[in-house]
A and B are shown apart, each in its own frame.
Chain A
Amino acid sequence: MIKRLLTVWHARNLEFVRDRGTLIFTLLLPLMLIVGMSFVFGGPERPLFKVGVLTDQIDKTAHPFLHERYVDFVPIAGEADGLHKITHQQIDLLVDLPGAGDPRYWVNTDSPKGYIVEKLLLAAAPSAKREPVTGAATRYIDWLFPGILGMNLMFSCLFGVGYVVLRYRKNGFLKRLHATPLTAFEFLSAQVLSRLCLILFVTVALYIGMGSIIHFHSAGNLLLLFAVAVVAALSMIALGLTIASRFASEELVGGLLNLLTWPMMLLSGIWFSLEGSPRWVQWVANIFPLTHLLQASRAIMLDGAGAVAIAPDLIYLSITAVAFLIFGAWSFRWRIE
């Protein structure tokens, strides 16, 4: 079984590596994207203050400060989460506005915007208690970097496997393989492993190459980051297989893959944080494997998070990988009669 699996794996690798156009496109697309995005978003920050409020839901009548214009108030459920954000300058001020008693606020003394928005707060609540924190801002390019890597991984996994299996089915190659002792499990495993090896190689190459261009250094453990990439890639490759497992129409498979990738691209937090977005958007985003990949990888790369901190994302990705693989193998058809 292993011999047959390795045989198909090797042949698929040769096919991919020799397809120069696809290989170059796979490497260049994310590079072009990150250069373009850093150009577009690398200028002055948006002229909007972002203030975190320790509450489940913003009630504008709770305090006069909440009526300030040009300030985006976002609810933050826990103090620890709020402190993390103010330390990394993801928000400009963190306030606790209790119904009774004086408000408390945290301000990052390294943040110019924090300095200004603090004045606005003190004008509305002169007796507010000050809690100073320090911490450098996360560059947008650093925040975007995991998103670009994740997006490239998503496209490569979904389209790379989905369209390859569809092409094999349409041109009769799957039918020819079906006439050999190769089992569906061996064939699918070879496809998964081949794509996994290739995408991991490309992702590591991009991480090193792009990381050196933008001078990025991960704050966390690289092996843990690699493990997250492996599980996330498995989950999305298996998702691609489930889509291509029994269809023979390019239009249908293309449509289904687009139906998956576009919402993931828009809602998984590649470009912007979903902080402050409607609850239903966050609920939908949490279904996508890409969201969990980005949450985990940003936590490791930007905050130096350990295995325990990212365990929920890792578990979710593992469960979806196994579920999609089982469903894909169960629904796989060598040919459509």
Chain B
Amino acid sequence: MSAPLLEVCNLVKHYASVTAVNDVSFSVPEGICFGLLGPNGAGKTTTIEIMEGILTPTSGQVRYRGEPLGQRFREEAGILFQKTALQDFLTVRQCLSMFRGLYDRGLDVEETIQLCALEKLAERDNRKLSGGQLQRLLLAIALINDPAMIFLDEPTTGLDPQARRNFWDLIQSIKARRKTIILTTHYMEEAELLCDEIAIMDNGKIIAQGTPRNLLNQHFAQVLLELPRQEFPDSARRLPLTVIEGGDRIEITTDDLDATLRILMDAHVPLRNLRIRPPNLEDLFLELTGKALRA
């Protein structure tokens, strides 16, 4: 694995009586998509904003290419915030030209317009863009300086499924350019599709980190059985099974599907609504925190 492009060392951030980030450390190698996952209030936006140099940590340090964040980082980082407004009355092309003018080097405006499929919108007032179109423009702005590292803070929140998929395609094309991406998201499907490595945050701490596959292998057996809670009698809880409580459903993980099914049938547990699927990141989060991810 290549040397870390970004290192986060013992980051702490206090707000009055709240500790938003509590001794967080990790590193991001060059060329990967790194996902920071967690529920609302987990501390991921605070962490990413400290990494972006927007917030000052109470203690700890972020290092880019081995050095504290400085002018080089600002020149080489592209950022898409959760919420950003642009200057009124400026067209898409003018917004891009304005941001291009703030960097010493970067992509050509027309090239960025093509990259983010904004050709038909180039002369439109940025206030008249739809949610998905505006996110594409903000992504284009994040790419205008041809960054080595791109921060995407919940980039698809609020988009419709079609716009979300289009956006994922764009991120895939950026990944193909060997850019390092740091992504925060609520959507596990997004993380599984895009991220090479993830860190899961809860209550200001990293509670698990690794590649999605390794984390799932560490915490789960190969398959996961799902049953409606009302069809899972209390007596079945005494069976020799690994059971995870999940809201209105019960999840059972196992390496031996045949044996597990036999135990359930012997206990007369109804199986007509049984679902068998591989575990995913949402299951992992549930397993680690006991909370639904979007709570």
Contact = CB atoms under 8 A, between A and B. Distances in A.
Contacts of A14: 87, 89-90, 94
Given A6-B101, A178-B54, A337-B55, A15 B85 contact: no
Contacts of A113: none
Interface string B167-185: 0000000000000000000
A6 B81 CA distance: 25
B51 to A, nearest CB: 11
B18 to A, nearest CB: 12
A334 B83 CA distance: 15
Contacts of A337: 15, 55
A178 B73 CA distance: 12
Contact of B84 (A15, A176, A181): A176
B98 interface: yes
Nearest to A187: B102
Interface string A1-34: 0011011101110110011000000000000000
A151 B94 CA distance: 33
Given A19-B88, A19-B89, A181-B102, A175 B54 contact: yes
A171 interface: yes
Contact of A181 (B74, B81, B86): B74
Contact of B98 (A8, A18, A175): A8
A126 interface: no
B103 interface: yes
B199 interface: no
B52 A173 contact: no
A179 interface: yes
Contacts of A42: none
Contacts of B104: 181
16 contacts: A3-B101, A4-B101, A7-B101, A7-B102, A12-B87, A14-B90, A14-B94, A15-B90, A19-B89, A172-B81, A172-B83, A172-B85, A175-B54, A175-B81, A175-B84, A337-B15
A335 interface: yes
B81 to A, nearest CB: 6
B128 to A, nearest CB: 13
A279 to B, nearest CB: 47
A84 B13 CA distance: 67
A180 interface: yes
B101 A179 contact: no
Contacts of A178: 54
A182 interface: yes
B101 A15 contact: no
A8 to B, nearest CB: 7
Contact of A180 (B15, B90, B99): B99
B90 A11 contact: yes
Nearest to A172: B84
B2 interface: no
A18 B89 contact: yes
A179 B88 CA distance: 19
Interface string A142-173: 00000000000000000000000000000111
B282 interface: no
B230 interface: no
Most buried by A among B71, B90, B98, B141: B98
Contact of B103 (A19, A172, A180): A180
Most buried by B among A4, A18, A173, A180: A180
Contacts of B226: none
Given A15-B90, A172-B84, A182 B54 contact: no
Given A4-B101, A7-B98, A11-B94, A179 B79 contact: yes
A6 B141 CA distance: 18
A187 B86 CA distance: 15
Contacts of B54: 175, 178-179, 334-335
Given A4-B101, A7-B101, A181 B94 contact: no
Nearest to B101: A7
B205 to A, nearest CB: 21
Given A10-B101, A11-B90, A14-B87, 12 more contacts: A3-B101, A7-B101, A8-B102, A11-B87, A14-B94, A15-B87, A15-B90, A171-B85, A176-B86, A176-B141, A181-B74, A335-B54
A15 B86 CA distance: 10
Interface in B75-130: 75, 77, 79, 81, 83-90, 94, 97-99, 101-104
